[in-house]
Chain A
Amino acid sequence: MSLSKEQIAKRIAQEVKDGYYVNLGIGIPTLVVNYVPDGIDVEFQSENGVLGMGPFPYEGEEDADIINAGKQTITTLPGASFFDSATSFGMIRGQHVDLTILGAMEVAENGDIANWKIPGKMVKGMGGAMDLVASAENIIVAMMHTNRAGESKLLKRCTLPLTGVNCITKVVSNLAVIEITDKGFKLLERAPGVSVEEIQKATEGTLIVEGEIPEMNV
C-alpha cells in the first residue's frame, strides 16, 4: 500500500534526532511535528524569525504578531526566541540548523531539486527554499513518487527550473525511502506491501537495489 501523507510524515519523523534544530517546509513537512518520538528534545525553526515553535494557539488566543512561515498563527514553547530575517537565514546559511525537510516537484539522481516554478504558470516565488537547499547539509524531501499524471518525480535530470543543485540527501515518498548517492537513487526501504518492481517502475532515474529491501516501519 502506498503511504498517506501522514505516514510519510511519520516515517520522516524517525530521522529527527535528540538535540536537532529542524526547519520544516510547507505541506507534508509541517505534519512531521505531530510524529516526533517522545523523549527527545527538538526545536523547530521557522524562517520568518522564530525558533522553538509550538502548536497552534487555542481559539481566542491567536496573535497576529506570532506566525510561522506559512502565515499561520502559532505559539512558542519554553526556550523559544525571536529574531530578524537576516539572522534567521544566518542560522540556515551558517549550517546551524541540523535538518531541513521540504517538498519538491522533481528530484534528480544527482541531488538537484526543482520546487518553485512551472513555466507558463503563475510563479509565486522561491521564498526561503533556495537559501535552505544551498546551505543545509541534511535535506530530506517529502513528496509523492509520481505526479497526478502518473509520471515519475524522481528523474535522471530535473526538467523544471532548479531550486538548487546537488543538494538533496534523502527522499521519503509514498512508495519508498531513497538515499541519493554518487551513483543514483539507492533504495533503502519500501512502503508496506509495495514491491521493488513497483518502485522501479515509478522511478525514471537510476534506482540502485542491493540485497533485500526492508519495509518501512510506519
Chain B
Amino acid sequence: MINRTVASVKEALTGLEDGMTLMVGGFGLSGIPENSIAQLVKLGVTDLTCISNNAGVDDFGLGLLLQGKQIKKMISSYVGENDEFERQMLSGELDVELVPQGTLAERCRAAQAGIPAFYTPAGYGTEVAEGKEERDFNGKPHILEQAFKADFAFIKAWKGDTAGNLIFKGTARNFNPVMCGAATITVAEVEELVPAGELDPNQIHISGIFVKRIFQGEKYEKRIEQRTTRVRS
C-alpha cells in the first residue's frame, strides 16, 4: 500500500512559494479546503494565482487570502458577494479572469486527464472567445480552450484513506474531484481519515493516484452562505 498521508497541514503545504498557481476546490463556501486556506494565510505567501469557481466572502474562504493581499490573480466564473474583492478589482490591485463555469471545470478535468485543449460552444460570439481559435463541428461554432497548469491543487473531501482515496458528500463535491491530479501536487484534506482498507473500493469517487498528500483537517466550520428554510406545516 502506498501511503499518502502527511502528519500535518504544515507538512502538506511544503514547497509552496510566492507566485505559484493554485487550484482551490469548492462552490461558494461549500466544500472549500478550510484548513489549507488557513495555512496559506499563516504562511503569508503572496502573488498567488488562484483558480477557483468563487472567491469566498469577506471573512471566509479565499476572502481570507484577499484580506492579506496574497492573491495577484483570480480565475473564476462568479465573484460576487465579496466587498474586498470588488475594491481590489476596481483599484487594479487584483487581476481577474472570468471563465464560463463549465469551461472552468473542463479546463481542470483536461489537466487531470492529460488533454492539452478542447473545443466548447460556450462563450462563442462573446468576449470570452476573443483571441481564441474557432472551429465548426456539425455546423456549430466552437472555441478552443486550454487545460490549466497549476502548482498545487487544494481539495476538500468528506472521507479519505491513507492511500489517498476520496469520498465526497453532497454538493460539496463540485470542483474538488476534477481538480485532483490537475496540478503538480494535489493536497486533499478530509473530515475523517481512515486506514486503507476501511473504505469500500466500490464507493470511492477519486482514486488515490490523483492525490499526493492527504491529512485530516483539524476542524471544519462549514459556514452556510444563504441559509434558506421552510416552515413546518
Residues of A whose CB lies within 8 Å of any CB of B are: 46-50, 55-59, 61-68, 70-74, 82-86, 88-89, 92-93, 112, 122-131, 134-135, 161-166
Report the minimum CB–CB distance from B122 to chain A (whole Å): 4
Contact in complex: B170, A47 (CB < 8 Å): no
13 residue pairs from A and B, CB less than 8 Å apart? A49-B174, A50-B170, A50-B171, A57-B228, A61-B229, A64-B172, A71-B29, A71-B226, A73-B226, A125-B76, A125-B79, A131-B103, A161-B126
Q: List the 8 closest pairs (A to B, CB-CB), nearest first.
A: A89-B102, A131-B102, A165-B125, A65-B170, A124-B80, A85-B105, A130-B100, A125-B78
Any A CB within 8 A of the CB of B46? no
Contact in complex: A86, B124 (CB < 8 Å): no
Report the minimum CB–CB distance from B83 to chain A (whole Å): 10
Which residues of chain A are within 8 angstroms of B231 by Cβ–Cβ distance? 58-59
Report the minimum CB–CB distance from B55 to chain A (whole Å): 9
Contact in complex: B30, A67 (CB < 8 Å): yes
Q: How many A-B residue pairs have CB under 8 A?
A: 177
Contact in complex: A56, B230 (CB < 8 Å): yes
Contact in complex: A85, B232 (CB < 8 Å): no
A55–B228 alpha-carbon span in the complex (Å): 10
Any A CB within 8 A of the CB of B90? yes
A40–B39 alpha-carbon span in the complex (Å): 50
Within 8 A of A (CB), among B204-233: 205, 222-232
Any A CB within 8 A of the CB of B159? no
Which residues of chain B are within 8 angstroms of A48 by Cβ–Cβ distance? 27-28, 30, 171, 174
Which residues of chain B are within 8 angstroms of A128 by Cβ–Cβ distance? 77, 100-102
Contact in complex: A92, B224 (CB < 8 Å): no
Contact in complex: B228, A73 (CB < 8 Å): yes
Report the minimum CB–CB distance from A107 to chain B (whole Å): 14
Contact in complex: A66, B171 (CB < 8 Å): yes
Which residues of chain B are within 8 angstroms of A64 by Cβ–Cβ distance? 29-30, 172, 222-224
A201–B169 alpha-carbon span in the complex (Å): 51
A130–B104 alpha-carbon span in the complex (Å): 11
Choose the segment among B16-24, B146-154, B175-183 that binds chain A (4+ C-beta atoms closer than 8 Å). B175-183
Contact in complex: B106, A86 (CB < 8 Å): yes
